[in-house]
Structure 1
Amino acid sequence: MFFILLIVLAAIGFVVQHLLGWVQIKNFTKNYTELRYKGKVAIGRRPSVFKSGTLVLLQLNGKNEIEDARYMQGVTVFSKFKPIEGLENLKLNKITGKDLTNFNKLLVKAILDAQHTLKVVESGGEIEKIPSPMMKAVKKVNNIFKSERGMKHGVRR
C-alpha cells in the first residue's frame, strides 16, 4: 500500500512540475516575442542547480545597442522575467565587466554569455549546448570510472 501511495505522489509531483515548467516557458515565449518584434534579441544564460539560474534577453537595434533588457533569475519554476535597468544604449559587443558592477555575479555572467552568443552568431558559428546538471554529473562519474579502469590496466591518461 505504501509503495502505491509513493508512486501516486511521485506521479502527481511530476505532473505539477510539468505544468509549472510549461507556465515558465510560456512566460519566456511572451517576453522573447515582445522583444523580437522590436529587433534582434541576444540571449544569455547561466544555468545552475544549487544557485539561481539566470536567463537574459537583450533587445538590440541595428548598431548592437541595447534598447530593452529583461532577466529571469531563480531556483524555482515561479521565476518570471523582470526589466534590467542601466544597460540602455550600451553596445553589447563593447560591454566589459566594469560596465556591470551594479549587477550580481550570475546576472553579469549571463550578460557576458549573451555578448559571446552574439559574437558567435555574427561570425556564422553555432552556439554550443550547455549540458544539463544531470549530464554534467553523469560525465563526471564516467570519467571517474574511466580513470579507475585505466589505473587497473596500467594505462595512464
Structure 2
Amino acid sequence: MFLIMLIIILAVGFVVQYLLGFVQIKHFTKHYTELRANGRVAIGRRPAIIRSGTLVLFQLNNKNEIEEARYMQGVTVFSRFKQLAGLEGKKMNKLQEEDFANYNKLLKGAIVDAKHTFNVVQAGGEIERIPSPMMKAMKRVNNMFTKKGVKKHGVHS
C-alpha cells in the first residue's frame, strides 16, 4: 500500500513539475518574442539545480548595441523576467567586466555567456550545448562506475 501511494505521489509531482515547466517556457517565449520583434536577441544562460539558475536576454540594434535587457533568476519555476538596467547603449561584443561589476555572480556568468554566444554566432560558429545540471550529475555518477583509461572497442573511421 505504501509503495502504491509513493508511486502516485511521485507521478502527481512529476505532472505538476511538467505543467509548471511548460508555463515557464511560455513565459520565456513571450519575452523572447517581444524582444525579437524589435531586433536580434542575444541569450545568456547559467543553469543550476541548488542555486539560482539565470537567463538573460539582450535585444540588439543593427549596431550590436544593447537596447533592452531582461533577466530571469531563481530556483523555482515561479521565476519571472525582470528588466536589467545599466547596459543600454553598450556594444554586445565589447562588454567589459566593469560594465556589469555591480551584478551578482550568477548574473555576471549569464552575461559572459551571452557575450560568448554572440561572438561565436557572429564568427559563423555553432554554440556548444551546456549540459543541464541533471546531465552533469548523471555523468559524474556514470564516471564513478566506469573504469578510467579503458577504451571502448568500436569501429573507427
What's the TM-score once normalised by structure 1's chain length? 0.91
For residue 73 of structure 2, what is the amino acid of its counterpart?
Q
Q: What secondary structure, in the 3-state scheme, does the structure 2 residue paired with 1:38 have? A: coil
Shift of 1:148: 5.7
Q: What secondary structure, in the 3-state scheme, does the structure 1 residue paired with 2:37 have? A: helix
Shift of 1:149: 7.4
Q: Deviations over 1:53-95 (max 9, x none)?
A: 0000000001110000000000100001000011110111111
Identity %: 66
2:22 — aligned with what?
A: 22
Q: Deviations over 1:125-156 (max 9, x none)?
A: 11001111222122223333344676xxxxxx
Q: Pairwise mapping of residues 8-19 of structure 1 onto structure 2 (< 5 A)?
A: 8-19=8-19
Aligned residues: CA RMSD: 1.3
2:132 — aligned with what?
A: 132
- Tell me, yes or no, if structure 1 residue 73 matches structure 2 residue 61: no
Shift of 1:100: 0.8
Task: Supply the distance in 2 between the matched residues of 1:62 and 1:111 (Cα, whole angstroms).
Answer: 20
Q: How many residues align?
A: 150
Q: What secondary structure, in the 3-state scheme, does the structure 2 residue paired with 1:127 have? A: coil
User: Which structure 1 segments of 5+ residues have no match?
Assistant: 151-157
Q: Pairwise mapping of residues 112-131 of structure 1 onto structure 2 (< 5 A)?
A: 112-131=112-131
> Structure 1 residues 10 and 122, CA, compared in 2 at 3 Å: closer, same or farther?
same
Shift of 1:26: 0.4
Larger CA deviation: 71-80 vs 94-103: 94-103
2:37 — aligned with what?
A: 37
For residue 5 of structure 2, what is the amino acid of its counterpart?
L
